[in-house]
Amino acid sequence: MGGPVVPPRTLPLLARLRDILQLRFSDVYASLPAAAMASISPANPFKRLARVLGYAGLRLVGNIFQPIKNRENLHGKVWLYVVSANNYDALAFIKDARTDAVLLAGQAKNIGRYAGQVNRLSLRRKLLYYWQFPIVFIGLLRSEGRRAWRYFDFIFYAIGYYEVYRRALRHYRPRAVVFSNDHNDDTRSLLLACRAEGVPTAYIQHASVSTSFPPLGFDLSLLEGQDALDKYRQCGPVRGQVELVGMPKADAFLGSKNMQPAVARVGLACNVHDPLPALAATLTYLMQELPGLTFTLRPHPSDTRDFQPLQRALPALQWSDSRQENVFAFLQQHDALIAADTSTHLEATLLNLVSIYYQFSDNAAVNDYYGYVAHGLIDEARDLATLKALLLRYQAAKPASLFRRANYYNATLGTDYEGHSQALALRHLSGWLV
């Protein structure tokens, strides 16, 4: 599947930064709730400027004084490039299977609980390319208008990655680079650098994708299922070889599906898009109305809000630390999941949990972002009364075949490769690397 691979090329400066920042300038990004965006990019321009200055001082200048001492040799290896703990979980099986594979990230990238287990690419020279910022900013103001001004901090952060990564590729000459993210600014910079230097690239999907993502442009893409491929076709031309391999990170858990006959333990997953007051109101209502159920809240690893008032208000509420506990380990302890827009719905369904889509905010700008409700993967509750009614129904009886709803999303379900997606992915990867 897929079309011809794009030959190595170098994009002009403005076109390159526009490509790198594609998602930042998309309509879906502009429609994010103000409260959610505030933690990423403050609405106040002076606060944005303060963040930029902090980044320049702590990251750019700080990198100069932080020596890079990698435990592994990066020369000629297969690079597994990660930008988060979730990326690490998606690619670690390749490191376990191949002696020529190394996990690595940008110099100061936060990889959560795996921070000490990845090699690092030096970003010291990134500071040398900030003469580009005025040129890029003015150019993007002309093409993107107010969005360039609103996200001038993102433009600033993205400067220099491409040039530094091209230099690293020329120095280390990796055999290939494997990605598990295709839309972050540092990831896209490395992808474009690989194209320019003629380094082969592969992509292993780590979570559900959106039609607002950049077009699929890797030499080899290993996707979870037909859903991902259909969405990428809406993003633009699909280039390179594409194979559907299921979800490698779920292999170890698919053999232990939840076969409890009724729901007793309910997990709630939240992120910065879910307002704290609405979360508190939802949990208070459910815990009062459904005292026979146990509830656990799991904030996203990037959610740094203060949850202590909620802990004090609801002492019976249990908690999951997503920075320490794997998402599948969390799901295995529950019979149902409630969440808004998160790929955890798919992971829950694969383990045969009841999964319910519920928007905690009445003014959510995004609805059914991944299309799970539209494709019948999960149930939907539009208000608290409906949410309560669904939980009462499943508290009485929970179906044993909910996982079959996920066939459209996971290509290996019901096949000989169910629970063996890692082996299938490694087979395709090894054949491609020959």
pLDDT in tens, 91-146: 999 999 999 999 999 998 989 889 889 999 999 999 999 999 999 999 999 999 99
- Residues 378 and 408: their CA atoms lie apart, in Å, by 13
CB 287 within 8 A of CB 268: no
Nearest Cα to Cα of residue 187 among 19, 322, 361? 19
The answer to whether the CB of 78 falls within 8 A of the CB of 174 is yes
Digit-coded pLDDT (tens) for 208-232: 898 889 999 999 999 999 999 999 9
The token pair at 428 is: 């395709």
Q: Which residues of 390-417 are buried (b: 16+ CB within 10 A; e: fewer)?
A: bbeebbeebeeebbebbbbbbbbbeeeb
Contact partners, residue 78, CB within 8 Å, separation at least 6: 94, 98, 100, 101, 102, 174, 175, 176, 177, 178, 433
C-alpha distances (whole Å) from 18 to each of 26, 134, 137, 185, 191 are 11, 14, 11, 10, 14
What pLDDT is attached to residue 38?
77
Cα–Cα dist 421/345, whole Å: 19
**Cβ 32 vs Cβ 365: under 8 Å:** yes
For the chain, the C-alpha Rg in angstroms (whole number) is 22
In whole angstroms, what is the distance from residue 160 CA to residue 17 CA?
A: 10
CA distance 179 to 157: 20
What the chain holds in terms of domains, given with CATH numbers, is 13-247 (3.40.50.11720), 253-408 (3.40.50.2000)
pLDDT attached to residue 7: 45
The answer on pLDDT for 233 being more than 90 is yes
Q: Tell me the whole-structure pTM to 2 decimals.
A: 0.87
**Tens digit of each residue's pLDDT (9 = 90 or more) over 264-313:** 999 999 988 888 999 999 999 999 999 999 999 999 888 888 999 999 99
Helices and strands per DSSP (H, E), number in the chain: 19, 13
User: Could you give the 3-state DSSP secondary structure of residue 380?
Assistant: strand
SS3 258: coil
pLDDT in tens, 196-209: 999 999 999 988 89
